[in-house]
Chain A
């Protein structure tokens, strides 16, 4: 992503170009869930622009296949965001070059040291999530994007009283993979 694209995304008031073909019910769903879908993806990919790309793909998939008023809409979107983001980090090899360009742009804007630390943290989280079992990685992405236990339970199809136990196991798996990564 180049600097112009960063500026475009950060500009606060990007207005919609007139009336769209998107039905009102879907617009409501989009406004209600878009930020959370982006955050779930961001927790995995660690990059704003890529998280928004993932969110857009997820909403297009949902739009084509599910009605906006489906009871499971939010749960589906959250799970799909984690799933699609993990697919992206597991498969993408061009990530490094793009990430370096993005990072250079942000560093130039100020706080290069902080940005470098954040970048290193994002890289470590992403690499660890990519290596660990998919179900556990999805669980951590959902929870650490800010979703409640109830929302995590809905997205993963588990009972709410099992979320805590599954999260503890996911933490163990994360730690194990993280230390394995450090010793490589």
Chain B
């Protein structure tokens, strides 16, 4: 408490009168002088969100969304999902809010929750993660020096719990469909990383670029079957019928990671990267875009305030 009191004195804001009209006049002059054009559409939020947060959100969608293949014998842990390709799944803000709350279906326990942190060099990131080094040809519009980030392997265990699901539904005034007895208490194990991320510039500046590589995320199960998971999760009141239909339409559910795409803001399409199929997300105006692909058990991502052509050139230059 003493800390806070003495800090309060130091940090207390001195009086400051701000003239917004003068600021606006200066801003207008800058816009006219530089010819800056106003954006009409958003940069894909994932490009400037912290990559780790985005990956966490994607993982959350996998939990609820993945239509899993039949698994083997109960009481043994089988890998039932490995990211090999990606499919865009359009989500509304409501979907994002509800899907990110795994706790509504049971208990999520991080067995190792790694935080991404900055390291001095690419060599340090490689040594820490055991991943191969990556380098790209950086476009001229990106002038910032690279920063290197490393993240250790992250894993989490999710245990379905019927009572929790009922309470969560009741809290929003809905009745949850009954959780099948076999699902109640069953376990999913999520694994992601390690990962290396190289960033140039930051979210407050144009000319930002990030390049990442990670071990492909996987999901294992102790016995829940695809039929049970799909029937149960997609019938939840918090999963919109439109989202459920998109997920059911994914052709290869054991290896396709659904990538949440905010509705109406960005476009997604398949593109060719390094001779394989990647998922491109963004627009062609140069406001922001990204591409993600999988090769030899590793997931690669390139994104930034770049045009589609630029981001694909960077992706294809990756070594």
Contact = CB atoms under 8 A, between A and B. Distances in A.
A and B associate in one complex? yes
6 contacts: A14-B19, A52-B18, A65-B42, A121-B10, A125-B11, A178-B10
Contact of A144 (B11, B25, B40, B287): B11
Given A22-B27, A60-B34, 13 more contacts: A14-B19, A16-B25, A17-B29, A21-B28, A34-B18, A43-B11, A51-B16, A56-B30, A63-B36, A65-B305, A67-B39, A118-B14, A171-B3
Contacts of B30: 56, 60
A69 to B, nearest CB: 10
Interface of B: 3-4, 6-7, 10-14, 16, 18-32, 34, 36-43, 45, 49, 53, 93, 202-206, 287-288, 305
A125 B205 CA distance: 25
Nearest to B93: A71
Interface string A115-146: 00010011011001000000000001000111
Nearest to B288: A65
In this complex, the member of B7, B31, B45, B288 whose beta carbon has the largest number of chain A beta carbons within 10 angstroms is B7
A64 B25 contact: no
A98 interface: no
Interface of A: 9, 11-17, 20-23, 26-27, 30-31, 34-35, 38-39, 42-43, 48, 51-52, 55-61, 63-68, 70-72, 80, 83-84, 87, 118, 121-122, 124-125, 128, 140, 144-146, 157, 168, 171-172, 174-175, 178
A65 B39 contact: yes
Contact of A52 (B13, B23, B28, B32): B23
B281 to A, nearest CB: 16
Contact of A14 (B25, B34, B36, B43): B25
A61 B16 CA distance: 24
